[in-house]
A = this chain, B = another copy of it.
Amino acid sequence: MSLVLPPDVTQASLERTLDELRGVVGAGHVLTSPADLLEYRDPFWHLSWDDYEAAAVVAPQSVEEIQAIVRIANERRVPLWTTSQGRNNGYGGSSPRVRGSVIVNLRRMNRVLEIDPELGFAEVEPGVRWFDLYEAIQAGGHDLMLSCADLGWGSVIGNSLDHGCTYLPYGVDFGAPCGMEVVLANGEVMRTGMGAMPGNRAWHVYKRGLGPTADQLFMQSNYGIVTKMGVWLMPAPECYMPIWVRAWRDDDVAPMLDTLRRLSMDGTLRMVPQVANTLIFASFQTRRTQWWDGEGPIPDARIDHIARELEVGRWLMRAALYGDEAVVEHRFAKVKAAFEAIPGVEVWGTKTTPQEAAGMPSPAERIQGGVPDLDMNFMTGWYGGEAAGGHVGFSPVAPMTGRDGLKVRDLMRSLIEQKANLDYLGAMLAINARSFVHVTMVIFDTSNEPQVRAAYDTCKLLVTEAAKHGYGEYRAHLDFMDLAVEQFSFSDNVQRRFNEAIKDALDPNGILSPGKQAIWPASMRDGGGLRDA
C-alpha cells in the first residue's frame, strides 16, 4: 500500500513507525486506508488538491499511550497532528498542516472524570464532546449550566484550545477552562498551575500557579497534547431569559454595537451575544435557491425581502439574561430601552428557566441555555445543500465600536461579493465588552471547484486587506494560517520568532503539529527564532 509520506521520511520508515504505533494502541486503532482517512480530511476541501492529507490516524486511549506515541515519533522523526474530536470545520477539520503527518485523534479518551457540584467544575478528557459533558451533568442531577459552543459534536478541550467561542457568562474571554494536564513533546506529563503540586485541589479552581501560568501557552499552539482540563460550570439561576434585538437597516449595526458595548461594560449583559446579518439567519433555516436564482450575490433589495419574510431584520442580535427574576426584569427593561432608542429597532425576550431551555424551539435559545445541538450546521448547505455544502471562516477581531462594525462589514462584504462572487454572511461575536470577533462564513458549493477556489483565494485577500486596516484574525484556516500570522509583523515578526524559540526548546525534533499557527520547528524553516543579544 502506498502511504502519504511526511517530509524526509521513507515509506519503509513510516511503515515501521505505524507498526510500532499498532503495538501501542492495537492494530484496530491505526487507520491508513483512504476510506478510513476520509473522515479525517477537511470536510470541505476534498477536490483535486491534497496539501493537507494525513498518512494515518492513531487513536490512543490513555495518557501512557500518548507518551509512547510521542516517543516513537521522536525516534522516527514523524510529525504528529493532534485533534480531539477533529471538528475544527471551517478551519481545516482534522487535517494536518504538514502533508503526511500522523493524526493523533483523541476521541477514545472520552471520560468525564469528575463533576464537583460544590465548586462548580468538571474535569474532562479531550474526547469529551459538549453533548457528553451536558449529558453527564444531567445524569448526575447537577443544577449546573455548561457554556457550550454552537455545535455540540465538538470536543470541549479541542474547542477551548482553538479559542472557540461559547456563549454563557463563562464564555466571556474564554473564561471556563482552568488547569490542564499536558503530555509534552519529550513524553513527560505536566500539570499546569496549582495542579503541579501533588494533592492540590485548587488545580481547577484557581487560574494561575506559582510562577508563570502555562494554560494559554497550550492554546492555539503546538507545545503539548492536552489530556485533561478543568471546565467551570455555572450554577443554574432562578431565571433564564433569551432576548432578541432586531434592526431593519443595514447601518443600524453601528448603534447596535455601541449600545451593546455600553450594556456589557456596565454589567447589564454578561455573556457572549451574537449580532448576525439577514443571510446568516436565512442560512439556518432555508436554502439559497429558495430566495435567489440570479447572477452573483443576493442584492440588497432581495436581502430586505428575506429580512421581512423571515422576520429576522437586517441585523438580529441574540443574547440572554441570567439571574434572579427581579434582576433579570430590571435588566431586560434597561436593554429594551437602550436598544429601542435606535429608531426602528425592536427588542423582545422570553422569561423562562434554565430547566426549560432544552425544550425551546430556537437553537440559539437552547445554546444560550447551555443545551448543545447541531441545528446550526444546516447553514453549511446554503449553496451546496446537505451533500455538497462547505464553508471557510474568516474571523478578524475588532474593538467593539459602531465605527469598527461598519468598517469590518464593508471590507468583508465588498471583497466577498466582488472577488468571490459570493454572499456575505457575517456574525459579530461579542467575546467581551470591549471587542468582537467578526466570523465571516464564506459558504460555497464544494462540488463547484472554481467557487471553492474563489472562496479560499478571497479569504487570503481578506487576511491582508484586513491587516492593512489593523484587524487580525482570532483563528485561521490551515490554508492561510501562515499568511494570517505573517500580518502580526511588529518588530520583524518578533512574536512569531518568540513562539519559534519556545518551540525549539520544548520540541527540538519538531514532532508536535508542525506549522500549527505558523509555529514551525527549526528543521522546517529558514532561520527564524530569536536573535542573539
Contacts and interface: CB of A to CB of B under 8 A. Distances in A.
Interface of A: 70-71, 74-75, 118-121, 163, 169, 173-175, 184-192, 194-202, 205-221, 223, 232, 234-235, 237, 261-262, 265-267, 270, 322-324, 326-327, 330-331, 334, 397-401, 404, 431-435, 467, 469-476, 484-485, 487-491, 494-496, 498-499, 501-502, 504-506, 509, 517-519, 530-533
A299 B499 CA distance: 55
B205 A432 contact: yes
Of the candidates A209, A474, A509, the one having the most CB atoms from chain B within 10 angstroms of its own CB is A209
A89 B429 CA distance: 42
Given A195-B490, A205-B434, A220 B216 contact: no
A397 B202 contact: yes
Given A211-B495, A216-B215, A485-B211, A267 B322 contact: yes
Contacts of A196: 472, 488-490, 494-495
Given A186-B533, A212-B517, 8 more contacts: A195-B490, A208-B219, A210-B474, A211-B485, A212-B218, A213-B219, A214-B216, A267-B270
B498 A184 contact: yes
How many copies the complex holds: the figure is 2
B432 A211 contact: no
Nearest to A505: B505
A267 B169 contact: yes
A200 B506 contact: no
B174 A533 contact: no
26 contacts: A121-B434, A188-B531, A191-B491, A196-B495, A197-B470, A200-B470, A201-B404, A202-B398, A202-B399, A205-B400, A206-B431, A207-B432, A208-B219, A209-B495, A210-B220, A210-B472, A210-B475, A210-B476, A212-B499, A214-B216, A216-B216, A237-B266, A237-B267, A267-B270, A326-B330, A327-B331
Contacts of A400: 119, 205
A492 to B, nearest CB: 8
A173 B207 contact: yes
A40 B121 CA distance: 43
B495 A190 contact: yes
Contact of A491 (B188, B217, B404, B467): B188
Given A74-B533, A206-B432, A267-B169, A467 B214 contact: no
A232 B434 contact: yes
Given A118-B401, A237-B266, A505-B502, A488 B518 contact: no
A530 B188 contact: yes
A494 B192 CA distance: 10
A202 B472 contact: yes
Nearest to A187: B533
Contacts of A473: 210
Nearest to A178: B434
Nearest to A230: B434
Given A216-B215, A267-B323, A533-B74, A190 B498 contact: yes
Contact of A71 (B71, B330, B533): B533
A270 B488 CA distance: 35
Given A217-B217, A505-B505, A490 B119 contact: no
A121 B434 CA distance: 9
Contact of A210 (B119, B399, B484, B502): B484
A530 B398 CA distance: 38
Contacts of A216: 208, 212-217
B532 A186 contact: yes
Contacts of A186: 530-533
Contacts of A404: 201
Of the candidates A70, A189, A191, A399, the one having the most CB atoms from chain B within 10 angstroms of its own CB is A399
Contacts of A218: 212
Given A217-B212, A267-B169, A70 B533 contact: yes
B223 A212 contact: yes
Given A206-B435, A211-B220, A212-B216, A470 B201 contact: yes
A463 B198 CA distance: 14
Nearest to A475: B210
Of the candidates A199, A201, A472, the one having the most CB atoms from chain B within 10 angstroms of its own CB is A472
A394 to B, nearest CB: 12
Nearest to A326: B330
A499 B211 contact: yes
A62 B531 CA distance: 22
